[in-house]
Amino acid sequence: MNTNNSTVLLTGATNETGIGIGLARRLTDRGSTVIVSGRNRERLFGVAAEHPDFDTLHLDVDSPQSIAEAVASLKSTHPNLNGLITLAGVMVPEDVFDPRSVSIAEEIVHSNLIGTIRSVRAFLPQLLDQPEATIITVASGLGFVPRLDVPSYSASKAGVRMYTDAIRRQLANTNVDVKLLAPPAVRTSLMHQENMVGAVPRDDFADEILAILDNEPDNDELIAEAVKPLRYAEANGKYQEMMDMLAGDVQR
């Protein structure tokens, strides 16, 4: 991805403390056009007011109708769209002993995994029309090693990882590059991580990811340094150790 001159749609990026706003800010500062989208119209109005150099778009990845409307809108307003970052998703704790755990799991998987699949499929035709394009799906370190309080979130992000690996091969002979982004715990309001010990400042994370895009353009995985122990835990024989570490973080 040319971070200096692209037109990029970010789904689920309306949280003012979230990584989507951080990435959008960095891309815009470099000269790219960003379209920040989300399902909460009030938040979209807030983003437009706070960041007048961002374009905004109503898009609910859980709604096929909303996605279809967004596709039609972008074909008209941003025909040169050549980047998609699928940030939309939810992270909710769950307990297998709780009768509500199944409905919670359905919501998480529907938004995080099915929402990613819907978004990629919906915007793929427009991306294929460009000379070069990039899809960046968003997983998590917990997609490599699960955390006990968010089992379905961890499973959904592992699913995103597998889906991404597969479609990268399917699109190998096209103009569309497919990358996986695995953020660490970032100081955002997601799961009240603003003051979490060890969480990475949002802007530091954004700088790190853009540096990988700039310096390692052929790297299929955008793995933050803090995520690497989880990414390579199984290969290094430390999977159980990392699970225990994550469990300790939750219990503290």
Please name the residues in contact with 84: beta carbons below 8 A apart, sequence gap of 6 or more. Answer: 8, 9, 11, 119, 120, 123, 127, 133, 134, 135, 136
**Cβ 210 vs Cβ 26: under 8 Å:** yes
What is the reported pLDDT for 194? 56
What is the reported pLDDT for 188? 61
Q: How far is CA 228 from CA 12, 155, 215, 216, 231, in A?
A: 25, 18, 18, 16, 5
Please name the residues in contact with 115: beta carbons below 8 A apart, sequence gap of 6 or more. Answer: 11, 12, 61, 62, 86, 88, 89
Q: What is the pLDDT along the chain (252 residues), one digit of tens a residue?
A: 999 999 999 999 999 888 999 999 999 999 999 999 999 999 999 999 999 999 999 999 999 999 999 999 999 999 999 999 999 999 999 999 999 999 999 999 999 999 999 999 999 999 999 999 999 999 999 999 999 999 999 999 999 999 999 999 999 999 999 999 999 887 665 555 555 555 788 899 999 999 999 999 999 999 999 999 999 999 999 999 999 999 986 655
What is the reported pLDDT for 248? 80
What is the reported pLDDT for 217? 94
For residue 181, what are the β-bridge partners?
138, 222
What is the reported pLDDT for 250? 66
